[in-house]
Chain A
Amino acid sequence: MKSIVTIIMVVALIIVANTVIIRSITTGTEKLTEESYDLKDKILDENWEEAEEDFDSIESEWHDKRSCWEMIVNHAEFTDIERFLLQLQTAIEIKNSDDCLRSIAELISHLKSLKYRYEFTAGNIF
């Protein structure tokens, strides 16, 4: 009986934790991706003041998410995303739209891959 209770508890814990984690990663990355697309529009319009505000919002959002995800996401992922954020910040400061667009593209690509990596799919299992 004790063994069966342990089995049920471990399996239930894993299923619940998995649901919460996937939801957090999916909504978090989708929100950041959406904000990155908005930032891209501002940069294409060369609206640098609003671009800077959008960037600050993305950065603060990212730091919130990072502290939640640290226990589950491989830390190498954080290093990559933070490198693109830093490149993007510098490009906005010097108002270089080419570098901005390149960094945004790489940031979006990493956020999407992060989302797909933690999804419950056959591709991820095999």
Chain B
Amino acid sequence: MIVIAIRTLILYIVVLTTMRLMGKREIGQLQPYELVITILVADLAAIPMQDINVPLVDGLVPIAILLVMHLLLSIISLKFRGARNLISGTPSILIESGRLMESELRKSRYNISDLLEQLRQEGIFSIGDVRYAIMETNGSISILSMDDKDESLAITVIMDGKLIKDGLYEAGYNEEWLYSTLKSNGILDEKNVFFAYIDARGRLRYQLQDRRRVGLWY
């Protein structure tokens, strides 16, 4: 049984790595690790279903292992940002202020025709009308047009109580500013914040952890 479990584990890692290497285009609407499970579970269930010589356990154990892997990756993704980036990838900015980001397009293996098609489907017929086009980790494209009031993207600075320094610096702020802003709102530790971002107008918006205050935005 451990042999089957290890084989499943190896296949899972191989298929997941392959999907990640294939790029975001092939993924569709699922995260890579979710897609792998979808593909494998269907096949694993089919084999013992069709062949009565194969014991049911041969199908059940790999599915149980996939469930374990899925739960494990979900927990790791939730807790560790670096691991999340490795497992699911990071969003790519394909268009910024009407300018195509050639290197990101190449990295994402996304051709211009497909991007234009996607923009047309969103009712945008000129790249110049796009402030931001971002390819999300599940392969979908989010668009912020020039008509939108917000001139820049909201930048995440705290996620699940953890400070995201890159985001903070990218927004043109530093830890000192963040801590003093939190302190002025009565928050002494960033661990008490579930999620915080700097909006297009440079304001810090945050939500406290559930155990401290439920569902309120400040």
Chain A interface (Cβ < 8 Å from any Cβ of B): 3-4, 6-7, 10-11, 13-15, 17-18, 21, 70-76, 118, 120-121, 124-125
Contacts and interface: CB of A to CB of B under 8 A. Distances in A.
Nearest to A75: B53
B2 A70 contact: no
Contact of B3 (A13, A73, A124): A124
Given A14-B65, A120-B3, A125-B7, 18 more contacts: A3-B71, A3-B74, A4-B75, A6-B71, A7-B72, A13-B64, A17-B1, A18-B1, A18-B5, A21-B1, A71-B55, A72-B1, A74-B53, A74-B54, A74-B55, A118-B3, A120-B2, A125-B3
Q: Is the interface of A mostly helix, strand, loop or mixed?
A: helix
A110 to B, nearest CB: 15
Q: Is the interface of B mostly helix, strand, loop or mixed?
A: helix
A6 B61 CA distance: 14
Interface in B43-76: 52-58, 61, 64-65, 67-68, 71-72, 74-75
B37 to A, nearest CB: 15
A121 B2 CA distance: 10
Contacts of B61: 14
Q: Which 6 A-B pairs have the closest CB atoms?
A: A18-B1, A75-B53, A3-B71, A18-B2, A124-B3, A76-B53
Given A7-B68, A7-B72, A14-B64, A71 B56 contact: yes
6 contacts: A3-B74, A70-B55, A71-B57, A75-B55, A120-B3, A125-B3
A70 B58 CA distance: 12
